[in-house]
Amino acid sequence: MLSASLTLDPASTVAPVRRRTFGTFVEHLGRCVYTGIYEPGHPAADEDGFRRDVLALARELGVTTVRYPGGNFVSGYRWEDGVGPRERRPRRLDLAWHSTETNEFGLDEFVAWARKAGVEPMMAVNLGTRGIAEALDLLEYCNVESGTHLSDLRAANGSKEPHGIRMWCLGNEMDGPWQIGHKTAREYGRLAAETGRAMRMVDPGLELVACGSSGSGMPTFGAWEATVLEEAYDVVDFVSCHAYYEEHDGDLASFLASAADMDHFVDAVTATADGVGARLKSKKRIDVSFDEWNVWYLSRFQNAEPPRDWPVAPRLLEDHYNLADAVTLGGLLISLLRHSDRVTSACLAQLVNVIAPIVAEPGGGAWRQTTFHPFAQASRHAAGDVLRVQLDSPSHETARYGTVTALDAVATHDAEQGATTLFAVNRSVDRPLRLTAGLRALGPVRLAEATTLSGPDPYARNTADAQDTVAPRPNADARLDGAALEVTLPPVSWNVIRLARP
């Protein structure tokens, strides 16, 4: 048995919990839109063709914002194709995913879906094959109240009220050679700055995201952010980060420690942004929008045969997650939360079917993958302020990330409600961990709930027929001992411990 300790002190805070940390992503990719959120004719479909079962799971997941429509897809997308009468909408080739886009579902449908789901829409503009004029058209269509060609067109298409979209991504992964219209940092930085400036002329209150690196392993990582921000610093509010993790060659210990890379990624990007700000003598601070993150078995996708034809909504990137994936995802959430001073927006990529916490079968049921649970618990219980948690934990070596602690944890404290929640992972592959948490600074508390997501098999999964094989269970071992919490965290586990006023 390993043993570790930490102390919770409500006076030591990082930042408020940012509700936008719990965003996700809906891309026109595979079955995320078609037979994911939208499936007219499905027994659970509502009058708009939106699947009620998926809507209910999205609400249960606690999603706050949803990024749309891509992703790589956006770099070839013409938003106009997806508005107006359906019978006039063109079918197009989607080069990013080698699919056919029917355009049966588009912008107005997405905004209507977002309203029903109770989430904030976050829109990406195409800076791959398009530019300033098309971004301005899209903005006019979405946000101008009335009295112009495109705002009146929106009203004529059935949306009288403006969509009022605040948050806009200026392109997607423009550093990636796979991106349609891939650019150098200087080319993209100039285009992002000029597009953003023009968009602000229409609506100064927008929140704009410049593309950062598609991963911390990109050859241009660091230099890309610096150059883009040299061009766009005064225009944008956020720089994006994207990161996907997978277990390589059975190296579970490294995989479980993926948050070490995310920590480094955020620290490096904020340092780079602050460096540019200092050189520009700017008082402004650029935040991080971690608008794509997840576990993704990307190498399986890269090794698979690309589609030969142009299918409509094929099964693509339908990763089937296990317990270890969920624990790793929990660790990534801990990293995002502990960086809440700079990461003020994030999107789990994606919401349904495509590397997603929710699976929806065409004509069939919808169910929760293992990864659903840490996200849902964190979104539900993270409240108030994020606390700075000092850990004292044994550590071990990993091949990818060097020495890492077995325990990783973050806590939130809601002073008004008197609620404190500890989120913790045990990253040891084989040893339980005895945790002692000092609670004296919290004053009198009671144990409201302790759950663990764990089990004998780190590769156990949920299926349509056995949906709760991996789900949070009460951790009966947790108890308060004076001003300390004592709990055993099983190996490869995600744990949530809630303390309340007595």
Chain residues that interact with ligand AHR, rule: CB under 6 A: 27, 70-72, 172-173, 214, 292, 349-350
Sequence-ordered list of residues with C-beta below 8 angstroms from that of 256, at least 6 positions apart, any chain: 324, 327, 328, 331, 425, 427, 429, 492
| Amino acid, res. 10 | P
Find the catalytic residue in 27, 39, 80, 292.
Answer: 292
Sequence-ordered list of residues with C-beta below 8 angstroms from that of 88, at least 6 positions apart, any chain: none
Angle at 221 between CA 216 and CA 223, to 5 degrees: 160
Strand partners, 45: 51
Find the catalytic residue in 173, 225, 231, 247.
Answer: 173
Q: Which is nearer to ligand AHR, 227 or 350 (CB)?
A: 350
Q: Is 292 an active-site residue?
A: yes
Q: Which is nearer to ligand AHR, 72 or 451 (CB)?
A: 72
Q: Which is nearer to ligand AHR, 147 or 177 (CB)?
A: 177
Sequence-ordered list of residues with C-beta below 8 angstroms from that of 236, at least 6 positions apart, any chain: 170, 192, 193, 196, 208, 209, 210, 229, 286
CB atoms within 10 A of CB 179: 22
Q: Which is nearer to ligand AHR, 328 or 350 (CB)?
A: 350
Minimal distance, residue 402 CB to ligand AHR, in Å:
26
How far does CA 190 lie from the centroid of its chain?
27
Minimal distance, residue 317 CB to ligand AHR, in Å:
7
Tokens 């890269």 sit on residue: 302
Minimal distance, residue 294 CB to ligand AHR, in Å:
8
Minimal distance, residue 129 CB to ligand AHR, in Å:
15
| Amino acid, res. 370 | T
Minimal distance, residue 33 CB to ligand AHR, in Å:
13
Minimal distance, residue 355 CB to ligand AHR, in Å:
6
Minimal distance, residue 354 CB to ligand AHR, in Å:
7
Contact assessment for residue 306 and residue 95, using Cβ atoms and an 8 Å cutoff: no
Q: Which is nearer to ligand AHR, 149 or 300 (CB)?
A: 300
Return the sign of the alpha-carbon dihedral for residues 96, 209, 62, 497: positive
Separation of alpha carbons 185 and 279, rounded Å: 18
Angle at 173 between CA 171 and CA 174, to 5 degrees: 70
| Amino acid, res. 80 | E
Instruction: Tell me whether residue 306 is exposed, middle or buried, using C-beta atoms within 10 angstroms of its C-beta: 0 to 12, 13 to 18, 19 or more.
Output: exposed
Beta strands 433-438; 2-7: pairing state: parallel
Q: Which is nearer to ligand AHR, 41 or 177 (CB)?
A: 177
Separation of alpha carbons 124 and 172, rounded Å: 7
Minimal distance, residue 26 CB to ligand AHR, in Å:
10
Q: Which is nearer to ligand AHR, 61 or 499 (CB)?
A: 61
Q: Which is nearer to ligand AHR, 312 or 480 (CB)?
A: 312
DSSP string, 246-262: ---TT-HHHHHTTHHHH
Strand partners, 290: 346
Residue positions counted in the chain: 502
Q: Is 161 an active-site residue?
A: no
How far does CA 415 lie from the centroid of its chain?
27
Q: Active-site residue numbers?
A: 173, 292
